[in-house]
C-alpha cells in the first residue's frame, strides 16, 4: 500500500490520501456540493494555502471518484491557446491511459487532430501519446474535439484547471470568450477553475464586462484553524512513535500565519529531526529553518538571477524590513541605499505581479518566508 511506505507523514508537494491531509472538511463538502448541483467553481486563494491539495482531496472522495472522470491540468506555464489545448489533451490522455473502456479507446477517434501523436510501442504494442506542442496546428479545432470527447464519456467529467488566471495573458485575443462559450455548451462536463493571482481571478469571474462573469461559484481558502492543525500534527508524530510539543506546532503555525505549505515544510523537517520516542520541542526550530532554507537555496539563486538589479535591491530591502511600509519614503530609501522613489516604484510593479512580494494595505512583504529570511540574512 502506498501510504504504508510514507516515511515522513508531513507530505509536501503532492497529495497522498485522507490520512495525511488535514481538515478541509467544510471546503470539501462545499466544493462537492456545487459540482454535484451543476455549478462550476472558481477557487481563489493566496499561494500555497492548499488549493491544489483541496482539489486532489475532493477528487479522492467517493462522490467524485465513483461518479466522475476527474482530470487535473495545471496551466501555469502556458502562454497560448495551443499550449492550453496540448496540456488539456495530455492530461486527459494520461489519466485515461490505464483505463481501457469503450470510451477511452475512442480518444484518437474523436480527437482527430491529435492522431499524429498516436504511436504504438514497437516492443510492447502499447499505444502511447507522443505529440509535441508543434503538433497543435489548430488549437480551436483540437479544443472542440476535446470537449466533444468529454461530452461523449460514459459518466460525467470534471476538469480542474489550475492557475486558470493564466488564460488572461495568452497571445491570442478572445480566449476568455472562446473558452466560456465552449464551457457553457457542456452538458455533462463540470469545471473547477483555481488560481492564486487573486486580482486576476476576481477580475475574470467577478467583473461584469468579462465573459466568465458569474459563470462559477467563487470560493476562497482560509488557513486551516490552528487547533485542528495542531491536533493533526500531534497525531502524525504519535502514529510514528514520536512526540511533539503542542506549543511548538502553534509557534510554527503562527510564524507563517497558518499558510499550509510553509507550516508543512517546517513540520516535515522537525519530524525528520526527531528520533523515535523523542519529544520534539522548540530547541529544534532554528535547525529546521536552516535546513529548509538550505534545500531551497538553489531555487532562490535561480530566481534572483532572473531579476533586474533594481528589483533585487528592492526585494532585499523589503526582506530585511519584514513588513515594509513607506517604501518610497526618503527614510526607507536612505536606510537601504536605494536609488530613488521612482525606481522603487517601477521595481515593485514586476515584483508584485509575479507574486514575489505581496501587499496588504500599505505594507509590503516578501511572500515566501524562507526566501525572505535567506535574502535578509544569508544573501
Ligand atoms: N489540508 C492539508 N493538509 C496537509 N497538507 C496540505 C493540505 N493542503 C495542502 N497541503 C500541502 O501544502 C502544500 C501547499 O498546498 P497546495 O500546493 O495545494 O497549495 P496551492 O494553494 O495550490 O499553492 P500554489 O498557489 O503555489 O499552487 C502542498 O505541498 C500540500 O502537500
Ligand atoms: Mg496550486
Q: What is the pLDDT along the chain (379 residues), one digit of tens a residue?
A: 445 567 999 999 999 999 999 999 999 999 999 999 999 999 999 999 999 999 999 999 999 999 999 999 999 999 999 999 999 999 999 999 888 899 998 998 999 888 887 777 788 877 777 888 888 889 999 999 999 999 999 999 999 999 999 999 999 988 999 999 999 999 999 999 999 988 889 889 988 888 888 889 999 999 999 999 999 999 999 999 999 999 999 999 999 999 999 999 999 999 999 999 999 999 999 999 999 999 999 999 999 999 999 999 999 999 999 999 999 999 999 999 999 999 999 999 999 988 999 998 899 999 999 999 999 998 8
Atom from ligand 1 closest to the CA of residue 57: 1
If 0-12 CB within 10 Å is exposed, 13-18 middle and 19+ buried, where does residue 155 land? exposed
pTM score of the predicted model: 0.92
- Distance from residue 53's CA to the centre of ligand 1 (Å): 5
- Distance from residue 105's CA to the centre of ligand 2 (Å): 31
Q: What is the DSSP string of 75-98?
A: -TT--SHHHHHHHHHHHHHHHHTT
Q: Quick check: CB of 51 below 6 Å from ligand 1?
A: yes
Q: What is the DSSP string of 142-169?
A: HHHHHHHHHHTSSS-EEEEEETGGGGGG
- Distance from residue 96's CA to the centre of ligand 2 (Å): 22
Indicate the DSSP class of residue 360: E
Which numbered ligand comes closest to the C-alpha of 264?
1
Q: Quick check: CB of 21 below 6 Å from ligand 1?
A: yes
What CA–CA distance (Å, rounded) separates 260 from 377?
24
Q: Coil, strand or helix: which one is 366? A: strand
For residue 115, what pLDDT is reported? 84
For residue 1, what pLDDT is reported? 43
Atom from ligand 1 closest to the CA of residue 55: 18
C-alpha cell at 320: 530585511
Residue to substitute in 196, 264, 267, 271 for testing ligand 1 pocket (most ligand atoms within 8 angstroms of CB): 264
Label each residue of 118-135 as H, E or C. Answer: EEECCCCCCEEECCCHHH
Residues 6+ apart with CB under 8 A from 100: none
Q: Quick check: CB of 197 below 6 Å from ligand 1?
A: no
* Grid cell 467577478 in the structure block, residue: 206
> What's the CA angle centered on 275, arms 274 and 277, to 5 degrees?
110
Phi and psi angles of residue 66, each rounded to the nearest 5 degrees, phi first: -80, -35
Sheet strand arrangement including 157-162: 69-74, 157-162, 189-195, 41-44, 217-220
Q: Quick check: CB of 166 below 6 Å from ligand 1?
A: no
Residue with CA closest to ligand 1 atom 25: 47
Q: Quick check: CB of 28 below 6 Å from ligand 1?
A: no
Write the CA distances from 248 to 8, 10, 245, 281, integer angstroms. Answer: 18, 15, 5, 6
Atom from ligand 1 closest to the CA of residue 23: 1
- Distance from residue 268's CA to the centre of ligand 1 (Å): 13
CB 36 within 8 A of CB 155: no
**β-bridge partners, 191:** 159
- Distance from residue 122's CA to the centre of ligand 2 (Å): 37
Amino acid at each position: 500500500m502506498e501510504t504504508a511506505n510514507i516515511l515522513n507523514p508531513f507530505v509536501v508537494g503532492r497529495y497522498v490520501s485522507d490520512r495525511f491531509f488535514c481538515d478541509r472538511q467544510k471546503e470539501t463538502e462545499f466544493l462537492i456540493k456545487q459540482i454535484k448541483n451543476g455549478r462550476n467553481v472558481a477557487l481563489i486563494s493566496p499561494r500555497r494555502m492548499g488549493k491544489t491539495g483541496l482539489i486532489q482531496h475532493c477528487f479522492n472522495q467517493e462522490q467524485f471518484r465513483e461518479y466522475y472522470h476527474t482530470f487535473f491540468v495545471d496551466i501555469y506555464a502556458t502562454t497560448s491557446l495551443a499550449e492550453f489545448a496540448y496540456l488539456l489533451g495530455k492530461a486527459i490522455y494520461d489519466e485515461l491511459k490505464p483505463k481501457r473502456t469503450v470510451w477511452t479507446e475512442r480518444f484518437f477517434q474523436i480527437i482527430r487532430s491529435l492522431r499524429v501523436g498516436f504511436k504504438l510501442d514497437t516492443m510492447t504494442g502499447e499505444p502511447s501519446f507522443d505529440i509535441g506542442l508543434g503538433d497543435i496546428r489548430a488549437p480551436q479545432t483540437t479544443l472542440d474535439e476535446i470537449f466533444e470527447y468529454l461530452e461523449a464519456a460514459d459518466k460525467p467529467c470534471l476538469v480542474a484547471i489550475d492557475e486558470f488566471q493564466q488564460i488572461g495573458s495568452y497571445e491570442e485575443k478572445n480566449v476568455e470568450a472562446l473558452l466560456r462559450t465552449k464551457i457553457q455548451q457542456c452538458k455533462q462536463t463540470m469545471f473547477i477553475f483555481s488560481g492564486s493571482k487573486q486580482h486576476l481571478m476576481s477580475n475574470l469571474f467577478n467583473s461584469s464586462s468579462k465573459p466568465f462573469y458569474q459563470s462559477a461559484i467563487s470560493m476562497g481558502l482560509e488557513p486551516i484553524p490552528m487547533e485542528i492543525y495542531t491536533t493533526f500534527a500531534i497525531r502524525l508524530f504519535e502514529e510514528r512513535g514520536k512526540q511533539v510539543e503542542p506549543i511548538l506546532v502553534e509557534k510554527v503555525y503562527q510564524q507563517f500565519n497558518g499558510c499550509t505549505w510553509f507550516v508543512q515544510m517546517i513540520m516535515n523537517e522537525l519530524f525528520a529531526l526527531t528520533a523515535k520516542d523523542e519529544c520534539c520541542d522548540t530547541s529544534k526550530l532554528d535547525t529546521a529553518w536552516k535546513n529548509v532554507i538550505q534545500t531551497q537555496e538553489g531555487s532562490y539563486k535561480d530566481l534572483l538571477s532572473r531579476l533586474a538589479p533594481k528589483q533585487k535591491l528592492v526585494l532585499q530591502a523589503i526582506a530585511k524590513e519584514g513588513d515594509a511600509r513607506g517604501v518610497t519614503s526618503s527614510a526607507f530609501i536612505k536606510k537601504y541605499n536605494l536609488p530613488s522613489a521612482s525606481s522603487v516604484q517601477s521595481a515593485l510593479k514586476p515584483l508584485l505581479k509575479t507574486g514575489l512580494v505581496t501587499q496588504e494595505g500599505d505594507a509590503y512583504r516578501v511572500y515566501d518566508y524562507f526566501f525572505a529570511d535567506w535574502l535578509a540574512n544569508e544573501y
